[in-house]
């Protein structure tokens, strides 16, 4: 099952009520307690007004209509109108207040999640697909928002409504009230059981829609691969499954809804009949008035509203519990790589890098990926990392950047243990260019300034010239202000790479890490990249996961990584003489590359 589909099922969960989560959620509400107290007061006042309506109707029938007192009829009419107008005004006020407050709470929660996510280490993201994390920030915060926006106030409002109705009915005529309550268990059963099913179906409909969106997104992103492999038919089937699930959930929700209303009406009619049967006799005998019966029946009909609203809140609470669990799981994840309490800022880096018996494993139960790695690189040296795939080259640079912390041994830069310095001061002085140069949406200039927003225009221009992007930028009508769209989709592979070089050059790192791209570009761009590379590497300690023969030959030190160890190190000539793995790699991989390049004239 694909991740997108799996997400949908994962999101369907409801969780039992959890007091600890609820308490924690209420902590987000606490800063807004003043405004929420005002909302509760308004809601209760409105409820009081609404509960007074049937009593006024009773009064107008008994005292106005029956006694033909037009003054009372007019006065009650005006009062009912006033009640509706005030109710509308206060209703507008409290809805606005609660929505605004709900949005503020959601804002706080989303902001906190986003901030926290950015601080989490690579290991957190290793095990979680981006789509899942995104749905937590959007869907799950929304589920909590729904509870806060509608749920909490509904709880207060409808609960008092229900108590109010029961109290008034008992006060009016307790015997008739108890008799009419016969219908309550029926109403509770119908509303309670159906409403949670209806809510469940609506929630399934929403979640399946998000699965559809996820699938659509994946399809659009991968449309080239899909068409290249002619996978349209299979994809259609997958999409049809999701689409059917969504359609079924929607149809089930509306079917249940169309069933529940007649059932409620039927129960309402039964209650009315009971009251009429017993009440009519008393009206005829003059013990009860017509207005009384009308008001009584009116109150009975009002039971349905609060019961339905409360069971809806119940489902909202369960959905919010599941969301809260997922959100708190993120918020409770501690960044694994973080500043020690005694961390000092890293002094300006000269560029000496030492690995002392460094070992590392990605997961505790998995075997070590690096074993006893020892290196000593002098400032300004150019280091090429070569070796078979999966040997541990990227892991070495990941540890140097402190994306992960070594599980054994020490990494020293200019004699300082990287674990003892603040992450920001360390990473600010290091630069990394990955194979797939990630370009952010925005302008070319914004992308160039990514690591150094305060760079002067002159420095920007110089960096652009050095990495040869000035040439293609000048061809765009908007120059450096050209929007490059998401992931730089408007640029070619080579241009994206040069832009990534420019970004690093402008941030002027002392240690540079480069995962050389394997994808081939045209001869001219290749020459530009080579020239840009030379400029970029000048005067810096550089670690290059090298794929090009020229880069490897130009390196001061070549490290051959094999099974998590440095199996050979030295210059190109030294290593060829050693007649070991490097020579083998060179003969098979690099020489083939060279002859291919010669054939194509690259």
Ligand X SMILES: Nc1ncnc2c1ncn2[C@@H]1O[C@H](COP(=O)(O)OP(=O)(O)OP(=O)(O)O)[C@@H](O)[C@H]1O
Site residues, ligand X (CB under 6 A): 126, 362, 369, 387, 389-395
Compute the least distance from the CB of residue 394 to ligand X, in Å: 3
381 phi, psi to nearest 5 deg = -75, 150
Compute the least distance from the CB of residue 213 to ligand X, in Å: 27
Give the separation between CA 447 and CA 450, rounded to whole angstroms: 5
Compute the least distance from the CB of residue 560 to ligand X, in Å: 11
Q: 245 or 361: whose CB is closer to ligand X?
A: 361
How many degrees, rounded to 5, is the angle at CA 474 between CA 471 and CA 479?
135
Q: 326 or 371: whose CB is closer to ligand X?
A: 371
Alpha carbon 67 to its chain's center: 66
Give the separation between CA 499 and CA 293, rounded to whole angstroms: 81
The tokens describing 55, both together, are 């009593």
Query: Do residues 141 and 354 lie in contact, with contact meaning Cβ atoms separated by under 8 Å?
Result: no
Question: At 412, is the secondary structure helix, strand, or coil?
Answer: strand
How many degrees, rounded to 5, is the angle at CA 384 between CA 382 and CA 387?
170
Give the separation between CA 32 and CA 91, rounded to whole angstroms: 19
Q: 362 or 476: whose CB is closer to ligand X?
A: 362
Query: Do residues 559 and 382 lie in contact, with contact meaning Cβ atoms separated by under 8 Å?
Result: no
Nearest CA-CA partner of 557 in 385, 345, 309: 385
Nearest CA-CA partner of 315 in 190, 210, 197, 207: 197
The tokens describing 537, both together, are 């590497």
Compute the least distance from the CB of residue 566 to ligand X, in Å: 12
Q: 483 or 519: whose CB is closer to ligand X?
A: 519
Bridge partners (DSSP) listed for residue 368: none
Rg (CA), the chain: 35
Compute the least distance from the CB of residue 127 to ligand X, in Å: 8
70-119 helix and 304-331 helix, angle to the nearest 10 degrees = 10
What DSSP designation does 337 have? S
**Cα-based torsion angle of the residue sequence 88, 89, 91, 95 in order, rounded to the nearest 10 degrees:** 130
Nearest CA-CA partner of 444 in 414, 471, 421, 417: 471
Q: 369 or 532: whose CB is closer to ligand X?
A: 369
Give the separation between CA 488 and CA 483, rounded to whole angstroms: 9
In 285-431, alpha helices (H): 290-301, 304-331, 393-400, 423-427
Q: 389 or 599: whose CB is closer to ligand X?
A: 389
Q: 395 or 497: whose CB is closer to ligand X?
A: 395
Compute the least distance from the CB of residue 555 to ligand X, in Å: 16
Q: 48 or 390: whose CB is closer to ligand X?
A: 390
Q: 394 or 497: whose CB is closer to ligand X?
A: 394
Q: 361 or 382: whose CB is closer to ligand X?
A: 361
Give the separation between CA 165 and CA 303, rounded to whole angstroms: 8
Compute the least distance from the CB of residue 473 to ligand X, in Å: 31
Query: Do residues 99 and 148 lie in contact, with contact meaning Cβ atoms separated by under 8 Å?
Result: no
Nearest CA-CA partner of 514 in 393, 598, 422: 393
Compute the least distance from the CB of residue 435 to ligand X, in Å: 8
Q: 306 or 564: whose CB is closer to ligand X?
A: 564
Q: 427 or 562: whose CB is closer to ligand X?
A: 562
Q: 369 or 444: whose CB is closer to ligand X?
A: 369
Bridge partners (DSSP) listed for residue 383: 543, 557
Q: 393 or 449: whose CB is closer to ligand X?
A: 393
| Per-residue b or e along 369-402, where b marks 16 or more CB atoms closer than 10 Å to that residue's CB | bbbebebebebbbbbbbbbeeebbbbbbbbbbbb
Within 10 Å of residue 532's Cβ, how many Cβ atoms?
Answer: 21
Total residues found in the chain within this entry: 602
Compute the least distance from the CB of residue 462 to ligand X, in Å: 33
Show Cβ contacts of residue 486 under 8 Å, excluding neighbours closer than 6 positions: 441
Compute the least distance from the CB of residue 570 to ligand X, in Å: 19
Compute the least distance from the CB of residue 387 to ligand X, in Å: 6
Query: Do residues 116 and 139 lie in contact, with contact meaning Cβ atoms separated by under 8 Å?
Result: no
Compute the least distance from the CB of residue 257 to ligand X, in Å: 47
């Amino acid at each position: 099952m694909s991740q997108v589909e799996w997400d949908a099922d994962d999101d369907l969960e409801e969780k039992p009520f959890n007091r600890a989560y609820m308490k924690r959620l209420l902590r987000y509400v606490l800063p807004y307690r003043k405004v929420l107290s005002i909302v509760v007061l308004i809601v209760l006042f409105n409820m009081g007004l609404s509960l007074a309506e049937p009593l006024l109707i009773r009064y107008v029938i008994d005292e106005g209509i029956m006694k033909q007192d037009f003054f009372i009829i007019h006065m009650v009419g005006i009062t009912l109108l006033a009640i509706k107008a005030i109710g509308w005004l206060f209703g507008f006020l409290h809805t606005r207040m609660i929505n605004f407050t709900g949005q503020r709470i959601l804002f706080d929660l989303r902001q906190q999640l986003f901030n926290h996510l950015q601080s989490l280490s690579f290991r957190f993201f290793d095990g979680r697909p981006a789509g899942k994390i995104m749905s937590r920030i959007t869907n799950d915060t929304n589920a909590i928002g729904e509870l806060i926006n509608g749920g909490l106030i509904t709880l207060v409002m409808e609960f008092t409504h229900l108590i109010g109705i029961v109290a008034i009915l008992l006060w009016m005529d307790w015997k008739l009230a108890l008799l009419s309550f016969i219908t309550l268990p029926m109403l509770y059963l119908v509303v309670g059981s159906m409403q949670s099913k209806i809510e469940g179906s609506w929630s399934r409909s929403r979640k399946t829609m998000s699965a559809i969106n996820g699938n659509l997104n994946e399809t659009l992103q991968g449309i080239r691969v899909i068409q290249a492999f002619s996978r349209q038919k299979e994809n259609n089937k997958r999409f049809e499954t999701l689409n059917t699930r969504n359609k079924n959930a929607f149809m089930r929700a509306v079917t249940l809804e169309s069933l529940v209303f007649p059932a409620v009406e039927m129960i309402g009619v039964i209650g009315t009949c009971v009251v009429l049967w017993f009440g009519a006799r008393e009206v005829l005998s003059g013990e009860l008035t017509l207005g009384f019966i009308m008001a009584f029946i009116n109150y009975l009909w009002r039971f349905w509203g609060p019961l339905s609203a409360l069971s809806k809140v119940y489902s909202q609470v369960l959905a919010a519990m599941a969301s809260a669990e997922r959100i708190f799981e993120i918020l409770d994840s501690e960044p694994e790589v973080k500043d020690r309490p005694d961390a000092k800022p890293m002094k300006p880096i000269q560029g000496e890098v030492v690995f002392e018996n460094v070992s590392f494993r990605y997961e505790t139960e998995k075997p070590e990926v690096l074993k006893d790695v020892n290196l000593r690189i002098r400032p300004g040296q150019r280091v090429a990392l070569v070796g078979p795939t999966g040997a541990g080259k990227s892991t070495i640079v990941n540890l140097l950047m402190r994306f992960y912390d070594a599980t054994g041994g020490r990494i020293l830069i200019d004699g300082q243990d990287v674990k003892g310095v603040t992450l920001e001061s360390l990473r600010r002085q290091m630069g990394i260019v990955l194979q797939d140069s990630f370009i952010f949406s925005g302008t070319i200039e914004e992308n160039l300034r990514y690591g150094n927003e305060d760079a002067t225009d002159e420095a920007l221009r110089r960096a652009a010239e050095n990495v040869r992007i000035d040439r293609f930028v000048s061809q765009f009508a908007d120059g450096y202000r050209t929007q490059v769209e998401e992931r730089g989709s408007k640029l070619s592979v080579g241009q994206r790479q040069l832009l990534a070089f420019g970004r690093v050059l402008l941030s002027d790192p002392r240690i540079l890490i480069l995962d050389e791209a394997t994808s081939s570009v045209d001869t001219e761009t290749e020459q530009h990249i080579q020239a840009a590379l030379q400029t970029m590497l000048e005067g810096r300690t550089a670690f290059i996961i090298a794929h090009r023969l020229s880069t490897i030959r130009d390196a001061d030190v070549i490290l051959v990584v094999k099974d998590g160890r440095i199996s050979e190190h030295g210059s190109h000539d030294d290593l060829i003489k050693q007649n070991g793995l490097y020579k083998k790699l060179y003969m098979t991989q690099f020489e083939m590359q060279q002859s291919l390049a010669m054939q194509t004239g690259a």
